[in-house]
A and B are shown apart, each in its own frame.
Chain A
């Protein structure tokens, strides 16, 4: 059974650009949550997808958007990148319990210059 995978592992962008991060959930998991973790901080909830629908959102602007596909994989899109978007972006998948038990991928390190 494969765990949660994310791509790319690292990414460098410039301010104003757009980025897409990808996540493959653990086998059998239908819920994907995205978190942003700034250096030295705990993760902050961005949003969750359950059965291809957004299922709750944290305090992030609309330029953070996402998708979930029929195979439960997911994308996080960030438009108009700002310097403060530099962080580790974490994807977590959960089984049928809609997110109670969350298993994290290795993350994508995004640097915005």
Chain B
């Protein structure tokens, strides 16, 4: 059972547009929700993260929106650029012994020039 469900699987956006990626989770014990960006052949790079007591967090062109009641969170990339073309993963973890990250399946984003 996929504990973190991510959509869409792939996304094509025009340069300057807004990219939106959505995630939903099952476990209400999750209390940390990061987004990672991964380029081919590279490790994931932490983009931005949010806690469930915050409804929105913005860092530069990247914004996380969080809806605790719906158990959903999303990543918005404003003014998308060709350099943003990558795979994006949402993840979640909960307070406990090791805080292992539970990952979505990823969204492949292509930003056309």
Q: Which residues of A contact B (CB under 8 A)?
A: 4, 6, 33, 35, 40-45, 48, 50, 55-56, 58, 90, 94, 97-107, 109
Q: Which residues of B contact A (CB under 8 A)?
A: 32, 34, 36, 41-46, 49, 89, 91, 93, 97-106
Across the interface, B101 reaches (CB within 8 A) one of A43, A98, A106, namely A43
User: What's the count of A-B pairs with C-beta under 8 Å?
Assistant: 65
- Chain B residue numbers with a CB within 8 Å of A6 are 43
Whether A105 pairs with B43 at a CB distance below 8 angstroms is: yes
Chain B CB within 10 Å, residue with most, of A50, A97, A104? A104
Whether B99 pairs with A100 at a CB distance below 8 angstroms is: yes
Q: Give the docked Cα–Cα distance between A26 and B105 (Å).
A: 26
Chain B CB within 10 Å, residue with most, of A40, A43, A50, A98? A43
Whether B42 pairs with A106 at a CB distance below 8 angstroms is: yes
Chain A nearest CB: distance from B7 CB in Å? 13
Q: Give the docked Cα–Cα distance between A107 and B92 (Å).
A: 21
Whether A109 pairs with B98 at a CB distance below 8 angstroms is: no
